[in-house]
Amino acid sequence: MADNDFNGVYFDPQAATEAAGRLDALAQRLQNDVAEGKPSLTVPSAGADEVSMRAAGTMNDVADSFSTSADAGVEELQKLAASLRAQVDHFGRVEDANVAGVENARQV
């Protein structure tokens, strides 16, 4: 696979592959940090009274919402990395087909 320059449009497959790897690493770090911090997000009720129980319930609902959103963020980062790798692969196949087409045309 070769680097290409088309009137200012430049695609570097190696850089794109490295970026996909960094996105995967970022997703993994986020996933680990959220999992590690999850126990500290759970708030026990300060007492048996209704206000304490509701306050703890509300804070735990917010923690659950945060965890759900963080998990979705991890998934989006992973999907973005996979998409970038797929684009690199597709670009490489198109480039190979173009080179083969040029070589075939030269032989005619």
Using pLDDT thresholds of 50, 70 and 90, give the confidence band for residue 18: very high
**Other CB atoms closer than 10 Å to residue 45's CB: what's the count?**
16
SS3 47: coil
**Could you tell me the end-to-end alpha-carbon distance of the chain, in angstroms, rounded to an integer?**
25
From CA 84, how far away is CA 86, in angstroms rounded? 5
Q: What is the pLDDT of residues 23-34, one digit of tens each?
A: 999 999 999 999
The pTM for the full model equals: 0.73
Share above pLDDT 90 across residues of the chain, in percent, rounded to a whole number: 69
Supply the mean pLDDT for the chain. 88
Angle at 24 between CA 76 and CA 1, to 5 degrees: 105
C-alpha triplet 85, 90, 93: angle, nearest 5°: 130
Summarize pLDDT for 71-107 with one digit per residue, the tens: 999 999 999 999 999 999 888 787 777 777 777 777 7
